[in-house]
Structure 1
Amino acid sequence: MLYPLKFNPILKEMIWGGKKIPQKLNVDVDEDVKIGENFAVSGLKSDQSVVNNGPLAGKNMMELIETYKGDFLGTKVYQQFGSNFPLLIKYIDANDDLSIQVHPNDEQAKIKHNSFGKTEMWYVVDAEANSGLVSGFSKQTSAEEFEQYHSSGKLMELMQKHPTAAGDTFFIPAGKVHSIGAGNLIAEIQQTSDITYRIYDFDRRDKFGNPRELHHELAMDAMNFSDNESGKVEYTAKDNESVNVAACQYFTTNVLNVSGVVNKDYSQLDSFVILMNVGGKCTIKSADATIELNEMEATLVPAAIKGLEIAADETAKLLEVYIEG
């Protein structure tokens, strides 16, 4: 019964969003709507992904987990998370700068929000000329020095800025200050959490003329003031080989460039696998089903599926995401 699953997009209107995501997905939205994110695979209670292909079409994430348990998530993943899907898989279109922000760790999020924390990573799908982002402080600092920069209007001088190009990858643990800059199209893998503490929002106002809420005290508690690491991951992609770009307790992510046909053996993996298409298009075959995966789409391969054939007429770029036991 289980096969590679695709889901209805969950589009999020954002003040900093644009038009790239609905255009890539061929989805119509009103002209004045700015789409910032697509939750491509989500188990958030408020945003449950719903299957749109095959016999399970119409089933949501929680129903899938409750029905198939370890066959869906992996035995160890199900034992750890139960009916809570552990990852949130997004595509982000930053038509304008996102706020300077930080996320809490598991302990802080549990106490304050009864939630998971938010460690994440970014893969730059595309970047316009002169695009960049913020990741980490420009130097090791302290709460007192941070407050001085913040109150004097010089906060951006304390931020570590990076130019961006397609293929750039950044690991963003909880506690790291960060912001995605205008012109970036990003694939994001993160813990299942929607908790963001805004530190600075460039004095913007929403479409109703109101400033967005800032979370200064919460952010001060969450920030790692000694983190002046860039978070950028150096790697060399290889055709038809999985190249690791992130490995932490929450997720493992590989870059997989497909040229022609590649066969994937997941017999030693006790986890679901998510494949995010970040360039080109491909066909994915399991024993019982075949799907097409276009750019900016994602598929979830249930843990019970232990082998895939992935084929690209030309080339395709995938992110391969799972949880290692």
Structure 2
Amino acid sequence: MEKLYPLKFKTQYMDKIWGGQKVRTHLGKDFGKLPNCGETWEISGVQDHVSVVSNGFLAGNSLEELIEVYMGDLVGDKVYERFGVEFPLLIKFIDANDDLSIQVHPDDELSKKRHQAFGKTEMWYVMQADQGAKLNLGFKEELTKEQYLEKFEAGQLMDILNFEEVKEGDVLFMPAGRVHAIGRGVLVAEIQQTSDVTYRIYDYERKDAEGNERELHTELALDAIDFTVPESYKTEYEAKQNDSVEVVKCDYFTTNVLELNQKLERDFHQEDSFVIYICLEGELTIDFEEGSESVKKGDTVLVPAALEQFFLSPQNSDVKLLEVHL
């Protein structure tokens, strides 16, 4: 069996009622004849949207097929034991040219009970934000379910939601149960559990091309919402040159921010996990024993668990990456 190598996948482009053009203008990705692109799915194990390899001798194979063949060599033994052939993360870029719906995701327990699916804990890294752009993150103050319903039914939902102005580099963590929405003018990289279960709470009474409003999930959302309020909704961190800084660590993924201007060795032998690199700025190569793979802004690459030692080598520019593993 030929040895594994850093894998790239065919980008899946999704037009959305709120989508824009930044996937093309900021990330250099061509979404063809679609009128807009609200989301790109970069690595996905979601059924009917499973990623397909685009580089090397494994090109044309799906991620699920690769896990069936390579098992722990691809994802790590502990990951394979936990998830089997279902890849545990979904990596996206999201361009909000208009406000996204106010929504919430159920946790593992509720999602399994209702949908036979995983819950959806996620995080956002803000890649670009227009002046004054905001995100909804939770509530302004702690509420009971009854207080929330009273405001909701009185049409006063927006009065109790917390909105935060954001800028490039901001990191926002959304555990399952936290009400949230991306506001217009924001481009984010999103890392989340493999799940497509979303409860839409409010959608600004928008209508689609046929004049229909999108379905709301008012009752389903009630049991999913976490009404507590944390000290801060933003993740505070300070990037370090040529070093990784951990910004999110949860049961479902760990994410580091890396800023590089020189070659850096990475060794994930102890983690027993695949590693994903999302390139936010610059160009680099991932150098390993059998060769190298070029990476540029907007690329997402999966480094198999079997490649325990490799190097990140910037190419004539400073590089900024998200580094994700289980």
Report how far residue 309 of structure 1 moved. 1.2
Q: After TM superposition, list the pairs within 5 Å mapping 1:1-325 onto structure 2.
A: 1-23=3-25, 24-30=27-33, 33-312=35-314, 313-323=316-326
Question: What SS class does the counterpart of residue 227 from structure 2 fall into?
Answer: coil
Identity of aligned residues (%): 48
- Measure the CA separation in 1 of the matches of 2:62 and 2:173: 29
Q: Displacement of 1:203 after TM fit?
A: 0.8
How many Å apart are 1:278 and its aligned residue?
1.3
How far residue 229 of structure 1 moved from its aligned partner, in angstroms, is 4.8
Please state whether the residue corresponding to 2:262 is helix, strand or coil.
strand
Asked if structure 2 preserves the Cα contact closer than 8 Å seen for 1:103 and 1:118, the reply is yes
CA contact (8 A) 2:29 2:298 kept: no
Shift of 1:144: 1.3
Unaligned runs of 5+ in 1: none
Q: 1:291 to 1:14 in 2, by over 3 A?
A: same
Distance (Å, rounded) in 2 between the aligned partners of 1:71 and 1:234: 34
The answer as to whether partners of 1:12 and 1:38 remain within 8 angstroms in 2 is yes
1:230 and 1:36 map into 2 onto residues whose CA distance is 28
* Contact 2:13–2:31 (CA under 8 A) maintained in structure 1: no
- The alpha carbon displacement at 1:231 in A equals 2.7
Runs of 4+ in 1 over 6 A off after TM superposition: none
Task: Read off the aligned partner of 2:155 and give its amino acid letter.
Answer: G
Distance 2:285 2:259 in 1: 13
284-293 or 265-274, larger mean C-alpha shift: 284-293
Taking structure 1 as the reference length, the TM-score comes to 0.96
Shift in Å at residue 228 of structure 1?
Answer: 4.8
Offset, 1:284: 1.3
Q: Is the 8 A contact 1:257 1:316 kept in 2?
A: yes
AA in 1 matched with 2:50: Q
Alignment partner of 2:38: what SS? strand
Q: In structure 2, what is the Cα distance between the partners aligned to 1:240 and 1:167? A: 17
Provide Cα deviations, 1:27-81, integer angstroms capped at 9, x if missing partner. Answer: 1422x62211111000111101011111110010111000000000100000111
Q: Taking structure 2 as the reference length, what is the TM-score of the superposition?
A: 0.96
Cα distance change, pair 180–281 in 1 and its aligned pair in 2 (3 A): same
- State the one-letter code of the partner of 2:16: M
1:205-250, CA deviations, whole angstroms, 9 ceiling, x for partnerless residues? Answer: 1122110110000111100112355431000000111100000110
Q: Provide the aligned C-alpha RMSD in A.
A: 1.2
Aligned with 2:307: secondary structure? coil
Which ranges of structure 2 fall in alignment gaps of 5 or more residues? none
CA distance in 2, matches of 1:229, 1:134: 15
Q: Deviations over 1:286-311 (max 9, x none)?
A: 21231221112100000000112112
More strand by share: 1
Q: Which segment is superposed worse, 174-183 or 287-296?
A: 287-296
